[in-house]
């Protein structure tokens, strides 16, 4: 915290007024179902985007990062100008959406210090968006609740940054709670905290380190495919979302859709079942069963949804071989990023050295490992 204050003073020549943070996230189960109206079970991480901020008395938002030398300036009079910026488009998008929604924004200086690794599939972008929305709301003296922060941030990513993501990442980043997963119904935004009692186990995140980019990946193609599937199902059943469809209902529609569209829908429908079962077994403390469901989810994402790739598959397969591992699967959008594994604490070192070495031999990449700490989403780190 002191560090960010010091750097803020160096960059902006004054002390910040306040420090806030928003979390990165891991999704435990419920993958690629948020945009189908399904339930998801993410949790906020202690890896987070911290921002130090102060009002600057102008109409300009100046943004800097602890890891970058230059500033970016966003003029609140025309927030539409920054869509092509590599550093600044998320922040400008958030400001743009907040102005549209009627928030009062004031010029300010904001310094970002993000410990969520970029491109890791742990939602560094959501953490940046949510932290920005919170800082802008606070500095302009606007009341804002956590769900609204998530909604605004997601809109920025959809409308301004052209990523057609669902609500899960921003929701977990804002609403997450220490020691709990968030069971979120993406059709209604109703949510409940599920205490995560992992007993003698921990969640280990493994970053495959393969470069990936959500915008250029096949993410938007998958959204199109499940939309097609839903249109077909609607010919037979009165449903709003694919998440309402049961496996027998989908089977009745199978002959009406191309095999690839059926497989995409099958993933969504079975993944929704897995979320339901996961909540049951987690509530009863049955971690062995939860581990098996994680494995089933990975197989479905690999074979039916086809969003894994050789790196994530290798990480999961190497994890499945380890006696200390109860289950493992890719988390997030896929195509790169991280796996999440449920590992006995006593075996974590073994797990990391063994999976890391075999993965390196097979793919050439040096994976990074993090033992996840489940933390609060948005945090008021205090006034300075
Ligand atoms: C990305 C998106 C989320 C969600 C996941 C897949 O993280 O931002 O909205 O769709 O992929 O579950």
Q: How high is the pLDDT of residue 162? A: 87
Q: Average pLDDT for residues 175-203, to the nearest whole number?
A: 98
Ligand 1: nearest atom to the Cα of 167: 9
Any catalytic annotation for residue 238?
A: no
Q: What's the pLDDT band for 214 if we cut at 50, 70, 90?
A: low
Residue of the CA atom closest to atom 9 of ligand 1: 166
- 187 to each of 40, 73, 237, 265, how far by Cα in Å? 11, 36, 18, 17
Q: How high is the pLDDT of residue 213? A: 62
Q: How high is the pLDDT of residue 203? A: 98
Residue 301 in contact with ligand 1 by CB distance below 6 A: no
Q: How high is the pLDDT of residue 215? A: 44
The helix/strand/coil state of 83 is coil
| CA 178, chain centre distance (Å) | 16
Q: Average pLDDT for residues 271-277, to the nearest whole number?
A: 98
What's the pTM value of the predicted model, to 2 decimals? 0.97
Residue 168 in contact with ligand 1 by CB distance below 6 A: yes
Q: What is the CA(54)–ligand 1 centre distance, in A?
A: 32
Q: Residue 362: count other Cβ atoms within 10 Å of its Cβ.
A: 15
User: How open is the CA angle 156-51-332, to the nearest 5 degrees?
Assistant: 50
Token pair recorded at residue 139? 């500095």
Residue of the CA atom closest to atom 8 of ligand 1: 165
Q: How high is the pLDDT of residue 70? A: 83
d(CA 145, CA 21): 15
Residue 336 in contact with ligand 1 by CB distance below 6 A: no
Question: What is the percent of the chain where pLDDT is above 70?
Answer: 98
Q: Around 178, how many Cα atoms within 13 Å sit in the side-chain half-sphere?
A: 4
Pocket perturbation via mutation, ligand 1, pick of 23, 120, 332 by most ligand atoms within 8 A of CB: 332
Is residue 8 a contact partner of residue 148, using CB atoms and an 8 Å limit? no
For 73-92, the pLDDT digits (tens) are 999 999 999 999 988 999 99
State the angle between helix axes of 259-283 and 219-236 in degrees (0 to 180), rounded to the nearest 10: 90
Q: What's the pLDDT band for 382 if we cut at 50, 70, 90?
A: confident
For 237-270, the pLDDT digits (tens) are 999 999 999 999 999 999 999 999 999 999 999 9
Residue 32 in contact with ligand 1 by CB distance below 6 A: yes
The helix/strand/coil state of 264 is helix
Ligand 1: nearest atom to the Cα of 30: 12
Residue 34 in contact with ligand 1 by CB distance below 6 A: yes
Closest to 241 measured CA to CA, from 161, 186, 203:
186
Q: What is the CA(56)–ligand 1 centre distance, in A?
A: 35
Residue 7 in contact with ligand 1 by CB distance below 6 A: no
d(CA 286, CA 293): 11
Tell me the residue ranges of DSSP E strands in the chain.
18-27, 39-40, 42-55, 60-65, 72-75, 108-114, 180-185, 191-195, 201-207, 325-331, 338-344, 368-371, 379-383
For 126-143, the pLDDT digits (tens) are 999 999 999 999 999 999
Question: Considering 169, 304, 313, 376, which one is annotated as catalytic?
Answer: 169
The helix/strand/coil state of 254 is helix
Q: How high is the pLDDT of residue 368? A: 98
């Amino acid at each position: 915290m002191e560090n960010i204050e010091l750097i803020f003073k160096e960059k902006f020549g004054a002390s910040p007024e306040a420090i806030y943070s928003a979390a990165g996230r891991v999704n435990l189960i419920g993958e690629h179902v948020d945009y189908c109206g399904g339930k998801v079970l993410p949790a906020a991480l202690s890896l987070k985007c911290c921002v130090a901020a102060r009002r600057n008395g102008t109409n300009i938002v100046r943004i800097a990062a602890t890891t970058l030398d230059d500033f970016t300036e966003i003029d609140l009079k025309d927030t539409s100008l920054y869509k092509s910026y590599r550093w600044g488009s998320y922040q400008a998008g958030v400001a743009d959406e907040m102005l549209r929604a009627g928030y009062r924004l004031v010029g300010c200086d904001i310094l970002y210090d993000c410990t969520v690794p970029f491109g890791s599939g742990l939602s560094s972008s959501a953490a940046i968006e949510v932290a920005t929305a919170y800082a802008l709301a606070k500095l302009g003296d606007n009341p804002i609740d956590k769900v609204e922060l998530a909604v605004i941030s997601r809109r920025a990513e959809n409308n301004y940054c052209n990523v057609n993501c669902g609500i899960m990442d921003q929701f977990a980043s804002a609403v997450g709670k220490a020691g709990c997963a968030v069971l979120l119904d993406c059709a209604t935004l109703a949510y409940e905290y599920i205490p995560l009692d992992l007993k003698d186990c921990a969640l280990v995140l493994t970053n495959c380190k393969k470069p990936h980019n959500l915008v250029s990946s096949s993410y938007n193609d998958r959204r199109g495919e499940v939309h097609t599937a839903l249109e077909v199902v609607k010919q037979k059943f009165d449903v709003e979302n694919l998440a309402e469809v049961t496996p027998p209902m989908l089977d009745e529609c199978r002959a009406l859709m191309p095999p690839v569209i059926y497989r995409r829908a099958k993933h969504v429908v079975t993944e929704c079942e897995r979320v339901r079962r996961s909540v049951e077994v987690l509530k009863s403390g049955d971690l062995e069963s939860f581990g098996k469901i994680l494995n089933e989810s990975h197989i479905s994402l690999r074979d039916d949804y086809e969003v894994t790739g050789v790196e994530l598959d290798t990480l999961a397969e190497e994890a499945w071989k380890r006696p200390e591992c109860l289950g493992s699967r890719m988390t997030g959008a896929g195509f790169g990023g991280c796996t999440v594994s449920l590992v006995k604490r006593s075996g974590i070192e073994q797990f990391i050295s063994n999976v890391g070495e075999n993965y390196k031999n097979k793919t050439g990449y040096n994976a990074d490992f993090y033992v996840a700490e489940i933390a609060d989403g948005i945090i008021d780190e205090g006034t300075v």
